[in-house]
Structure 1
Amino acid sequence: MSRSVASVPLTPTQLRRVLAGLMLGLFLAALDQTVVAVALADIARDLPGSQLLAWVVSAYLLAMTVSTPIFGKLGDLFGRRRLLAIAIGVFVLASLLCGLAQSMPQLVAARALQGIGAGGLLAVIQALIGDLIAPAERGRYQAWFSGMFALASLIGPTLGGLLSSQWSWRWVFWINLPLGALAYILSQRRLAGLQENRRNARIDYLGSVLLIIGLCSLLWLINRLGHSALWLNVQNGLLLLLAVVALKLFIIQQRRSLDPLIPLALLRIDAVRSGWLLLFFASFQAVGLAVLIPLQAYNSGGAGVSASQLMALALGTPLGAFLGGHFSTRLGRYKPMIVCGAVLLPVALLILSMLPSPHGPATLFVLLLCGAAIGLQFPTSLVAVQSAAPHHHLGVVTGVCGLFRGLGGMLGVSLLTSLLWLLLPGISADSMTETGMNLSAVDSHLLRKAFATLLQIDAAIALLPLLIALRLKDRSLSRDLTAAPE
């Protein structure tokens, strides 16, 4: 069996130095989800093929989501230190190609390659936390990594706008070259003492191909559903059929494979299964609310109100993650913090729907609570999965965490956006898409009522992870790194 451990236990100072390089790598992957958005208009003016502009964002997210479980499995087989080097190399090379692109198809292809590297960074780095830190201490450190996502969402648009306006949109990608090189130097130098044993196992190539086909079809379908109210058409039907067939064949292949890509036995572990679902719903809410809340605020109060509400939501998430990580470390348990977040979110959403005005300090405070409720569940659910799974499957269970987060985020945007269209009768979903979902022509009273109803529906959806959290077994976390399950 494979296990990655430090040859000599790391001191707190050495651990902080290791984490500095790892956090920089994770920050790069998270930053490129948001930094490109502001530069899209400049890209469309500069490159031919503007009809593919949406895929500059979608290709990155799709490739990142699909690649996380594959990189997680490869890390289990061949060692995470070398996989981290490969992921950084792919990400930096793809960033160079993005900046050199001369057409939109070239840029989309390079963004897909960049997403593969980002998926590797997410899967390998978060699994390395399980290698280096005892289960009871992981929540505290995973919270820092959750903070990297919030930081990237806050500074990404500003940084992208600054780089594209002062120099060129190409620098949005080229800035990754020195940062990626620094992440490589820091992480590889600090991880030099990590002993890794390769497993004698065969890569499940057929399973990998089937998983890629199935997930790409499913994610493409979800993306299409979020941009049109006309769900019943031939292309959507074909995508659904391809996804179902490919994923069904993938499951069959996993049952017959000697070393499956995602061992189905992991689904029989309660904390693993529940943790994946909790991460799915947490990302569903985080991404869905991050899109819809600023949309409502912009159409009723302008860009300033929209930015302040998005910032309140974004700041609440790392706050909740830090609290969840701190108290899970002190208590030596993850369930209490997961339940707290799962209880707080539907209550906060319901209060938000009943506020008389979508503006003001009360709205900002409740949005802060929503973000904190989501943040309480991110690091603790990941700790629940990692602490319950056998250590030789640490990489793959962590990679699947990233997969469920990606699926949840894309479905959250698609479902909540489609519900909003249904709640605004007489509004053409297609015309809304063409104008970037500009709702300024909608009656303010009708718009406020539609968003209130949408938030109440979302509060009901948030009860599902509460049921999962309540049924989750309360497991004591070990403070001994070597005591992880095998």
Structure 2
Amino acid sequence: MDSEASVSGLKQTKRPYVLAAVMLAMFMGAVESTIVSTAMPDIVSDLGGFSLYGWVFSAYLLMNSVTVLIYGKLSDLLGRKPIISIGIILFLIGSTLCGFAQSMGQLILYRFIQGIGAGAVMPIANTIIGDIYTKEERAKVQGYLSSVWGISAIVGPAVGGILVEYVSWHFVFWMNIPLGVLSLLGIWLFFHEHLEKKNAEIDYLGAIFFTIAISSFMFLLVEGGVNIGWRSNASVGIWFGIVLFLGLFIWQEKRAKEPLVPFAIWKVPSIAIANVVSFITGVMLIGISSFLPTYVQGVMGENATIAGFALTAMSIGWPIASTVSGRLLLKIGYRYTSLLGGIFLVIGGLLFVFMKSSSGPLWAAVSSFFVGVGMGLTSTAFIVSIQSTVEWQQRGIATATNMFMRNLGNTVGAALLGGILNSRLQRYLEHRTDSQHASINSINSLLGNSGNRGIPSSLVSVLRNGLSASLHTVFLFVFFCGLLSFVLVMFLPKKE
């Protein structure tokens, strides 16, 4: 069932209302990332456990990454509507529980549940649009979908900052509930599928192997150099497990009738490059989303609202560029559109490298904006290209694979960059004679509305300088990701 056929075959489907419902579902997922990043400094200040900071993001992204391929395959077999509905319901359950979390451990557990649901929302929403709109219409409609990121970027940090300062951080999770309910109603009332359902043959064994491998990898990245020595027996044992289960995963994918990762899709050069670049930009994206608010608050000394608006600029640049990208695709093709996006990613990453504590939040916002423009140009080009390359029967899994690679980049990036931050900060404090036995969790005093909790000003200066140096290392890695993305985009086929 190609998109042209689906438009004529699904006459009962009211496309404008379905588009609105899909955009609402995407907004729910998009606002989650911006609003939680804005609220995290205050959440850590309240619940404690700065050393677990990265796991709040990693737990969500891990389950998102693992389930996205299962959902994509199920949507090809059972239809888009029931799968996205299940995802939204699970996401709302997780959001509700997150709001009731009383400790960092509970929050991480509930973020696992949230991530299981989130795995269905973004890829299936994009796939639905690929089904009900023609190839020519998709470039324009993708601009509409990307505008969701701009709206969420403005609403998320603004509302998040207000809720954190004047109400409670718990409400940043609960605000998802009405959004999800409205989206469900719109999808069930106005989206009507006509397809022959098949028996689902999901590669659950492959999913298990992959989950164990990537979870072990994340754990080592976060704890390595902090609680687990890189050359310790525990580290060697974990690496052995990673290689073993990754090998079992590849072996299972080659023999499975319905593999989670269809290797045939990867044989198409444009899809392969788009997926690899999506992974790298996923690392870049999570690095900025997770740690920029911490830099603005902990190093620059600004409040949660200012930190939120600094991050907002990235998601404002994203939809603007995505709308322009839809037009550029028809004029200059996806290769040159992607190259232009790669240039903006490099510029944005370079600005982050040169950012200092005295630069102010405006510098942070401009840097974020350039990265957002790069993301908007490349992501739109990739999705339209991939959906136009495959047939309906593979559109769900092809779209999900690209989302999976970006989510995987987010997952690995959250763990890797969190590990880099913790390791760099710990080394800094160990080599400072005036650290007064400060630990990584002492950073809690710089965040939120704690007012430094009465600690000596000399120690505040040490902690702030340590956090600045550690986050600068993170931003150096972000710049490297932008540079690598640009280099890879240059290898996209010239023939459209």
Please state which band the TM-score falls in when normalised by the shorter chain: 0.7 to 0.9
SS of the residue aligned with 2:488? helix
Partner SS, residue 33 of structure 2 = coil
Q: CA RMSD in A?
A: 4.2
Cα distance in 1, alignment partners of residues 466 and 94 from structure 2: 45
Name the structure 2 match of 1:469.
489
Tell me by how many angstroms 1:286 deviates. Answer: 2.1
Distance 1:426 1:48 in 2: 21
Deviation at 1:202, TM superposition (A): 2.4
User: How does the TM-score come out when normalised to structure 1?
Assistant: 0.80
8 A Cα contact 1:2 1:77, kept in partner: no
1:55-454 correspondence to structure 2 within 5 Å: 55-98=55-98, 108-160=108-160, 162-163=162-163, 171-192=171-192, 194-200=193-199, 202-224=201-223, 231-298=230-297, 301-303=300-302, 306-328=307-329, 330-331=330-331, 333-350=333-350, 353=353, 358-359=359-360, 364-415=365-416, 427-428=428-429, 431-432=439-440, 434-436=442-444, 441-442=461-462
CA contact (8 A) 1:96 1:174 kept: yes
Q: Cα offset for 1:290?
A: 3.4
Deviation at 1:144, TM superposition (A): 3.1
**Residues 40, 286 of structure 1: CA spacing in aligned structure 2 closer, same or farther, 3 A cutoff?**
closer
1:73–1:9 CA distance, 2 compared to 1 (3 A): closer
How far apart, CA to CA, are the structure 2 residues paired with 1:326 and 1:16?
21
2:381 and 2:227 map into 1 onto residues whose CA distance is 35
Task: Quote how far apart the aligned CAs of 1:273 are.
Answer: 1.0
Provide closer, same or farther for how the CA distance between residues 182 and 460 of structure 1 changes in structure 2, counting only shifts above 3 A. closer
TM-score normalised over the length of structure 2: 0.79
What stretches of structure 1 of length at least 5 have no aligned partner? 477-486
Report Cα offsets for 1:401-432 as digits up to 9, x if no partner: 22211222244455556667888896138934
User: For the structure 1 residues 49 and 352, does the alpha-carbon distance in structure 2 shift closer, same or farther, using more than 3 Å as the test?
Assistant: closer
Kindly provide the CA deviation profile for residues 26-68 of structure 1, in whole angstroms up to 9, marking residues without a partner as x: 2222333344466668878999999978755442222122211
Determine the C-alpha separation between the residues in 1 that align with 2:372 and 2:362: 15
Distance 2:292 2:147 in 1: 20
Aligned partner of 2:493: which letter?
Answer: K
CA offsets, 1:161-193, max 9 Å, x none?
A: 55567766554444333322211110121212x
- Per-residue deviation at 1:454? 6.8
CA pair 166-353 structure 1, distance change in 2 beyond 3 A:
closer
- Give the SS at the match of 1:331: helix
Distance 1:219 1:359 in 2: 33
**Alignment partners' CA distance in 2, 1:301 and 1:231:** 32
Question: Which stretch shows the higher mean deviation, 50-59 or 365-374?
Answer: 50-59
1:2/1:199 contact within 8 Å kept: no
Whether contact under 8 Å (2:61, 2:408) holds in the other structure is no
Amino acid in the other structure paired with 1:123? P
Mapped contact 1:6–1:195 kept (Cα < 8 A) = no
User: What 5-or-longer segments of structure 2 have no aligned partner?
Assistant: 431-437, 447-458
Give the conservation status (yes or no) of the 8 Å contact 1:52–1:104: yes
Question: How far does residue 14 in structure 1 lie from its aligned partner after superposition?
Answer: 3.8
CA contact (8 A) 2:49 2:441 kept: no
